[in-house]
Structure 1
Amino acid sequence: MKHNTIIALIAGLLSMASAHAHTNGDYPQYASHYYNTPDRVDKRQYQQQQRIAQGIESGRLTPREWAKLDRQQDKIARLENRFKSDGWLSRKEKRILNKKLNAASQHIYRLKHNGRQYPVLPSYYVDNRRFD
């Protein structure tokens, strides 16, 4: 009897804590990490931009390669904006964006590791996107 009472008490406390988290607004913030795909898409695009910038700064990307990657990133951003125009992303749209981002990631890797080197430029050239 005592054992059942303790289990019931613990279960009640857990359900109250869970209900509190849902009403307190904590759940959507926690869930957004996993379910809010636009944020994940934006994060991947940001990370890819960082990889491209690192490749330019290290001289592993030439200006022509950078231009190709930049156009590819712009194309993905335009596609994402078109998909988001109705306010949300469908599963099909998420799948398409994910495939495009995967291809872009592979493209970045291939161009950074193709053996071509370019003289290392000062970082202010990278920030202003200026190559002479």
Structure 2
Amino acid sequence: MYVKSFRNLEVYKRARELSGVIFQITSGFPKEETYSLTDQVRRSSRSVGAQIAEAWGKRRYEKHFISKLTDADGEQLETQHWIETVMDCSYISEEVAKDLLKQYATIGKMLNSMMNKSESFCNNVVNEASPTDY
């Protein structure tokens, strides 16, 4: 076992950090986007970390673990779509969009690596660390 908690996973830390960046960026969107584009990109970006946490809780069942990581990968890809849409609406620059897309692609690679090495995460599962262990 490499880590005690999903909170210690680098991919989880990056996903949380990026969802914070997305929140900050979307705070400046026009009011008319509040219940559409703003909501969509925030939800998908936040869901990446949530799916990773849920996958961690399902490590006793390798197929469930992989399934939740697949969901996390789907959410990061959806977030990439919304980032491109945000750029198309001229709410962010192409440079900012490219940087965010690159960071989400890295998360995707990390998730795929975890899926490919799922047995190392799922063998010898012990009780989850408490919130104070992070």
Which structure has the larger Rg over C-alpha atoms? 1
TM-score by length of 2: 0.41
TM-score by length of 1: 0.41
